[in-house]
């Protein structure tokens, strides 16, 4: 019912994902199209796949670590949730 805890949790998650990728949380939320949680068939989190907009500035994309393609990157498991 109370939306503050879920919003707080989303903010914390975005901060952790951004830190894993080497960018700021603002850059992540501004340029991200999608953040897909990757899980095993057993439900264990193995990381996140982040998809960036094609219009993402080169300066931001150049900072992104763990790239899988020009506009995607993957993290390992995010522990703080």
Provide the pLDDT for residue 47.
Answer: 95
Task: Quote the CA–CA distance of 43 and 3 in Å, as a whole number.
Answer: 25
Here the tokens at position 62 are: 């150049």
3-state secondary structure of 26: helix
Domain borders along the chain are 3-74
pLDDT tens for the chain, 81 residues long, are 333 444 558 889 999 999 999 999 999 999 999 999 999 999 999 999 999 999 999 999 999 999 999 999 999 998 644
Provide the pLDDT for residue 4.
Answer: 40
Would you give the distance in Å from CA 12 to the centre of its chain?
11
DSSP state of 75: -
């Amino acid at each position: 019912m109370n939306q503050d805890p879920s919003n707080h949790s989303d903010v914390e998650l975005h901060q952790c994902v951004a830190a894993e990728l080497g960018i700021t949380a603002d850059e992540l939320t501004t340029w991200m199209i999608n953040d897909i949680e990757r899980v095993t068939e057993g439900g264990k989190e193995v990381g996140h796949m982040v998809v960036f907009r094609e219009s993402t500035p080169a300066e931001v994309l150049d900072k992104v670590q763990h790239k899988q393609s020009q506009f995607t990157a993957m993290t390992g498991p995010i522990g703080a949730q």
